[in-house]
Amino acid sequence: NRAMAPVQNKKIGPLSDDEMEGLMAGLGPFECDPHIAVAVSGGPDSLALTLLCKNWVDKRDGSLSALSIDHGLRKGSSHELKKLGEWLLARGIDHIVLKWKGKKPLTGLQATARIARYDLLENWCRKNDVLHLLLGHQQDDQAETFLMRLAHKSRVDGLAGMADVVEKKYVRILRPLLTTPKDRLCATLKAAKQPWLEDPSNKNMEFERVRVRNALPTLVELGLAPVTICETVGRMALMRIALEAE
């Protein structure tokens, strides 16, 4: 639990290794020679996190496993993950693809896929004795989550947004980038001359998150930029902590 709301990152340009050190320091402690896992889809957020984590573990004589999920929902996804694996191999990063098997639901697909994704990731970590699983959610994602929960009339628990540390039965889920703007992650990849994948579903207006994301530019004009929204999320998180303590 934090005594202060997390400070939102307002810098521009690539994220430095020193900044990553600071972000990770707030999520520890970590074991000696840490073996950590990162969920990577190939998009800019998770791929930038993976490259930053590679530098972080190398300084500690640790190891990194990059985990991708093949949902089997979209034609061409296997080819994309193969390309992602080639990029990661060239950087000395171990890449593992986990497949979501079985029948897929006709309704509630995104929610079901999310549950299946977390189950696959957490089970792999448990079986391989990996304590820390890192996710690439960033400042813009946090703002979108807040707006979606606000629309659904969430209370303090929901409006406090995604937590940077979640203690599960077998694994600690860490989100070190929640205070980092997406633009900085794209800049990090460009500085490393690393291309990334674009998921077509990110443009599908049937999904609520996509509709919220497309509305953000209008909100920015009204003074509701993601960084501003996330400052409110931080204050809600402090309120949640106070209520839990009481």
What digits encode the pLDDT tens for the residues 9-22? 888 999 999 999 99
**Strand positions, DSSP E, the chain:** 35-39, 63-70, 94-99, 132-134, 165-167, 172-174
pLDDT at 117: 94
Cβ neighbours of residue 9 under 8 Å, at least 6 residues apart? 19, 139, 179, 180, 181, 184, 227
pLDDT at 1: 44
pLDDT at 3: 57
pLDDT at 207: 85
pLDDT at 235: 95
Residues in the chain where the model's pLDDT stays below 50: 1
